[in-house]
Amino acid sequence: MNEFHSGFVAVLGKPNVGKSTLVNAYLGQKIAAVSPRPQTTRRRQLGILTLPQAQIVFVDTPGVHLPRHKLGQFFNQEAAEALEGVDADLFLVDASMEPDDEDRRVADMLLGQRQRPALFLGLNKIDLVPTPEREARRTVYQALLPGVKPFLLSASGGEGRAELLAALIGCLPVRPPEFPPEQITDQYEREIAAELIREAALVFLREEVPHALAVRLDEFTERGEEGAYIAATLFVERESRKGIVIGEGGGMLKRIGSLARREIEAMSGRKVYLNLRVKVEKGWRDNEAALRRFGYKIKSSGVKTEKHKK
Ligand code: GDP
Ligand code: MG
């Protein structure tokens, strides 16, 4: 009873199934970016949950999806790296729809791992599935990971969340906590700020500039009583997109800035002055040097190609 459990849990699943929502719900605080659209979570993130009896370090993986260009391959590389050395894998699916090829790819990747940690299957968004259909949904998803017990849950609503958390804790090794209890993330505050800015932009622009948008933090300075001064640049791929992001009379950029500022203030608990600008960087998604400058950690060995095509 008095033994302390501690370890790493990778949260896996295609974009938009609710990974960030679940991790945020457990942490009780907004750390991972949540978006109504896929692919907002682009970096490997750690959310650290410390309870009286356990510490779970969540690895909130980027969406695992088919590589179309280097950025897509980067996501997959990050996802694979996030899996190394974890104590448990939590495969999250969207139970409100039938399994698709993307779910199957993630499941195959999990089953094909050399070292197999404890495996959990979470059927999320169960609140959207009428009760008579839940059993059938459970069966089709269970077929993806034979022998793994499915948990039905609603990350946003709360149903089933506690049961899953208890099961996760139960599988973690008995050992002392890795991180100090007050630490909730190992991500730098500035990285989270950049992600919140990008998320704010996507709220207004998700139709116009779906994923071809990167954010670089240029300055993050403490100004004592006045709070923090943050300057950031939004990069788009084409001149025509730049106008959209800025908007008439700068209106769109103002809306993005004001939403992002509120989110960063909520996250950091202090006043924030936010200064945004927009620049065109042609083809940044296919340009490794540009990706590096935007903060993506790409190994010097380069981005692995066609790794997931069989
Ligand atoms: P991620 O890409 O897997 O990290 O997904 P997000 O956490 O960003 O969630 C994607 C969308 O699904 C957001 O609009 C969430 O509010 C929504 N969502 C997440 N969990 C649930 C759930 O349990 N029920 C419902 N109805 N919506 C959810
Ligand atoms: Mg996410």
- Ligand 1 near 16 CB (within 6 A): yes
182 band by pLDDT with thresholds 50, 70 and 90: low
What is the CA(77)–ligand 1 centre distance, in A?
Answer: 23
d(CA 292, CA 143): 39
What does the pLDDT look like over 98-127, one tens digit per residue?
A: 999 889 988 887 887 777 789 999 999 999
- Ligand 1 near 295 CB (within 6 A): no
What is the CA(183)–ligand 2 centre distance, in A?
Answer: 20
d(CA 18, CA 157): 11
Which runs of consecutive H residues, i.e. helices, occur in 210-250?
Answer: 239-246
> Which pLDDT score, from 0 to 100, does residue 205 have?
86
**Nearest C-alpha neighbor of 280 from the set 251, 248, 240, 308:** 240
Instruction: Please state which of the ranges 87-96, 212-221, 295-304 shows the lowest mean pLDDT.
Output: 295-304
In angstroms, the first-to-last Cα distance of the chain is: 47
pLDDT reading at 302 higher than 60: no
- Ligand 1 near 19 CB (within 6 A): yes
Q: Mutation test of ligand 1: which of 16, 19, 196 has the most ligand atoms closer than 8 Å to its C-beta?
A: 16
> Which pLDDT score, from 0 to 100, does residue 82 have?
59
Q: Which atom of ligand 1 is nearest to the CA of 13?
A: 3
Confirm whether pTM is higher than 0.85: no
Domains and CATH numbers, the chain: 5-171 (3.40.50.300), 189-309 (3.30.300.20)
Q: Alpha carbon of 302 to those of 43, 109, 261, 289, 294: distances in Å?
A: 17, 21, 35, 11, 16
**Nearest C-alpha neighbor of 164 from the set 111, 117, 123:** 123
Pairing of strands 5-12, 118-124: unpaired
Query: Which residues make beta-bridge pairs with 219?
Result: 231
Q: What angle do CA 247, 279, 299 make, to 5 degrees?
A: 135
pLDDT reading at 222 higher than 80: no
CB of 301 closer than 8 Å to CB of 84: no
Pick the residue whose CA is nearest to atom 6 on ligand 1.
18
- Ligand 1 near 47 CB (within 6 A): no
Q: Mutation test of ligand 1: which of 11, 12, 17, 21 has the most ligand atoms closer than 8 Å to its C-beta?
A: 21
What does the pLDDT look like over 118-162, one tens digit per residue?
A: 999 999 999 999 999 999 999 999 999 999 999 999 999 999 999
Instruction: Pick the more confident residue, 256 or 62.
Output: 256
Q: What percent of the chain clears pLDDT 70, i.e. is strictly above it? A: 71
pLDDT reading at 280 higher than 70: yes
